[in-house]
Amino acid sequence: MNEKLTSDNFEINDYILNTEESDYKNLITRLKEISATITLLEKKYLDKV
């Protein structure tokens, strides 16, 4: 019985870690997209000044 609980705990922990890693990767990707957008906007509007 304890082996089953331990196994379940590892699976839950692995799921949480995978989800957190996925969230982190999504955040990094989104931040890179935002940075690229800001750079384009700076070029577009600073050239007009």
Residue 45 lies in a domain: yes
SS (H, E, C) the chain: CHHHHHHHHHHHHHHHHHHHHHHHHHHHHHHHHHHHHHHHHHHHHHCCC
Residue 35 lies in a domain: yes
Query: Which residue is it, tokens 């705990």?
Result: 9
Domain count of the fold of the chain: 1
Check residues 1 and 16 and name the one with the higher pLDDT. Answer: 16
Burial of 10 (0-12, 13-18, 19+ CB in 10 A): exposed
Pick the closest to residue 29 from 37, 5, 6 (CA basis): 37
Residue 29 lies in a domain: yes
Residue 44 lies in a domain: yes
pLDDT at 7: 66
pLDDT at 2 over 60: no
Query: pLDDT tens for residues 12-38?
Result: 778 777 888 889 999 999 999 999 999
Residue 38 lies in a domain: yes
Residue 14 lies in a domain: no
Domain range for residue 33? 24-49
